């Protein structure tokens, strides 16, 4: 099942993205984390770098911050922070989708309508 996200573009327009799987999972976590961002340590996922790569290909701005960590396996890890404005459209809001572009339709679809 796919989830819809509204990516607000710099020119004031909005792009509707339909994501599923780990891309949807990663973007949902990035939205929830806000400016704090996500790390593979705090939000475990097998391939964060791949999820971020795929989100960036869709035009979503995700910043990578390299952080050091101590301990027996000292090294560094990435913190991913969502820098684009991305929202989840409210349930029942209908959209016209053409490829990856979409515009909000003024009418509301009835609950349960596909």
pLDDT, tens digit (0-9, with 9 covering 90-100), for 44-64: 998 999 999 999 999 999 999
pTM to 2 decimal places:
0.78
Give the tens place of pLDDT for each residue, 10-31: 898 999 999 999 999 999 999 9
Interval 66-94 mean pLDDT:
90
* Higher local confidence (pLDDT), 96 or 86: 86
pLDDT score of 95: 58
CA 18 vs CA 25, 49, 67, 89, 95: distances in Å: 12, 20, 31, 11, 11
Buried b (16+ CB within 10 A) or exposed e, 70-98: eeeeeeeebbbbbebebeebeeeeebeee
Q: Is 80 helix (H, G, I), strand (E, B) or coil?
A: strand
**CA–CA gap between residue 9 and residue 28 (Å, rounded):** 18
Q: Map out the domains of the chain as residue ranges.
A: 3-108
How crowded is residue 31: how many other Cβ atoms within 10 Å of its Cβ? 14
């Amino acid at each position: 099942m796919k989830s819809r996200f509204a990516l607000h573009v710099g020119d004031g327009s909005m792009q509707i993205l339909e994501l599923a799987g780990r891309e949807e999972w990663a973007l949902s976590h990035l939205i929830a984390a806000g400016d704090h961002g996500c790390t593979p340590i705090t939000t475990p996922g097998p391939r964060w770098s791949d999820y971020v790569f795929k989100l960036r290909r869709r035009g979503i701005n995700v910043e990578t911050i390299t952080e050091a960590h101590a301990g027996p396996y000292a090294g560094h890890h990435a913190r991913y922070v969502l820098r684009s404005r991305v929202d989840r459209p409210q349930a029942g809001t209908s959209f016209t989708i053409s490829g990856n572009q979409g515009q909000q339709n003024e009418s509301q679809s009835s609950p349960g309508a596909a």
